[in-house]
Amino acid sequence: MTRTVLVARLDNAGDVLLQGPLVRAVAAGAERVVFLASPQGTSAAGLLPGVDSVLTWHCPWIDGAPQPVDAADIAALTERVRAEGVDEAVISTSFHQSPLPLALVLRTAGVARVSAISVDYPGSLLDVRHRVDDDLPEPERALSLARAAGFELPPGDDGRLAVRRPLPAIDQPPGYVVLHPGASVPARAWPAERCAAAVDELTDAGWRVLVTGGPGERQLHAPVAGRRGVDLGGETSLAEMAALLDGAAAVVVGNTGPAHLAAAVGTPVVSLFSPVVPAVRWAPYGVPTVLLGDQSAPCRDTRARECPVPGHPCLSSVTAADVVAAVEKLVTA
């Protein structure tokens, strides 16, 4: 059994949650798993079963708001990895990210074996250069890397997303729907006025609607909740958010972190999915899902952060009535 394996995923919380099956496969073949995460992904890494410790690092070639490259910072990361006694590393990246800069850093830290998916020639940076069809769901893509590196899920593991349990207790009676109006990428957000209308129509349909959001989104989630929804924006840790989603009948959310957190606790998702990235890769994984949004819209596969089409038609075409119908479909199913 390998002693200490480092798993790296250096972007957002949702991306980290999608590494759950990979992490559990690595943990089944290692004595200890260290997860290297970005500041945005650290809390999610701590929720993954199989992770023993988390290192946080702001990566200058992956982060959407990168800091300048700092030689002292790179050297400090090298020493932290060396101090952890890492024997092997599995570097998980999205299809448009390169694992090779991190592989170089890990080599200088003395990591003896490094595996990653790479379309570029890695020279001596990788021991396992895995290649894969990019039109796989992201958790399956990551798990295929773990297998290429020699790690398999333990018997009885279904390969779905998961979080550590028990989750924190929450003071919410059953019979509610969670609506999360924000998104880390503006092009993936359902218009706020549609979210507010959905709160009203879901309430009319008999649901209590809990509106969630981050601490910096007060100007979004408070008006969306209005007088009829329950505004919980900025009031929950990630673990508390997981517990809140776990108790929901359904979650209404765009293609952003809480969609994957809902999948990780097994809650059905109404996915307001902008096609700027492919749904086959990034839709909620392993749970009942209704996908709303025009998947053939002109923004398809552009990876745009801001909507490139006036009026945001891919998601503005979705109505509050569509969301209510989708919730009822998931609940009755």
Q: Is residue 279 included in any domain, yes or no?
A: yes
Residue 103 has pLDDT above 80, yes or no: yes
In percent, the amount of the chain with pLDDT more than 90 equals: 82
Residue 2 has pLDDT above 80, yes or no: no
The first and second tokens of residue 80, run together, are: 């932290």
Q: Is residue 99 included in any domain, yes or no?
A: yes
Residue range 300-311: mean pLDDT, rounded: 84
Same domain? 136 vs 187: no
pLDDT-derived band of residue 298, with 50, 70 and 90 as boundaries?
confident
Same domain? 206 vs 112: no
Residue 7 has pLDDT above 80, yes or no: yes
Q: What is the pLDDT of residues 201-256, one digit of tens each?
A: 999 999 999 999 987 777 888 899 899 999 999 889 999 999 999 999 999 999 99
Same domain? 114 vs 247: no
pLDDT-derived band of residue 85, with 50, 70 and 90 as boundaries?
very high
pLDDT-derived band of residue 186, with 50, 70 and 90 as boundaries?
confident
Same domain? 30 vs 111: yes
Distance CA 231, CA 223 (A): 9
DSSP conformation class of 317: T
The first and second tokens of residue 7, run together, are: 């798993």
Q: Is residue 165 included in any domain, yes or no?
A: no
Distance CA 102, CA 81 (A): 12
> Tell me, what's the pLDDT at 19?
98
Q: Is residue 137 included in any domain, yes or no?
A: yes
Domain count, the chain: 2
The first and second tokens of residue 95, run together, are: 């299809």
Structure-model confidence comparison of residues 187 and 211, the more confident one: 211
Residue 24 has pLDDT above 90, yes or no: yes
Same domain? 266 vs 306: yes
Q: How far is CA 287 from the centre of its chain?
A: 15
Q: How far is CA 57 from the centre of its chain?
A: 17
Same domain? 134 vs 48: yes
Report the mean per-residue pLDDT for the chain: 94
Same domain? 226 vs 137: no
Neighbours of 329 (CB within 10 A): 14
Q: What is the pLDDT of residues 257-289, one digit of tens each?
A: 999 999 999 999 999 999 889 999 999 999 999
**Full residue range of the structural domain in which residue 305 is found:** 176-332
Same domain? 213 vs 277: yes
Least confident of 88-102, 138-152, 182-196, 243-257: 182-196
Residue 156 has pLDDT above 80, yes or no: yes
Least confident of 76-80, 122-126, 187-191: 187-191
CATH number (domain holding residue 196): 3.40.50.2000
Q: Is residue 106 included in any domain, yes or no?
A: yes
What is the reported pTM? 0.96
Same domain? 228 vs 101: no
Structure-model confidence comparison of residues 220 and 127, the more confident one: 127
CA distances from 99 to 109, 118, 130, 169 (A): 15, 7, 11, 39
Please state the φ and ψ torsions of residue 36, each to the nearest 5 degrees: -100, 115
pLDDT-derived band of residue 187, with 50, 70 and 90 as boundaries?
confident
Same domain? 251 vs 103: no
Residue 9 has pLDDT above 90, yes or no: yes
pLDDT-derived band of residue 195, with 50, 70 and 90 as boundaries?
very high
pLDDT-derived band of residue 310, with 50, 70 and 90 as boundaries?
confident
Q: Is residue 271 included in any domain, yes or no?
A: yes
Same domain? 225 vs 135: no
> Tell me, what's the pLDDT at 59?
96
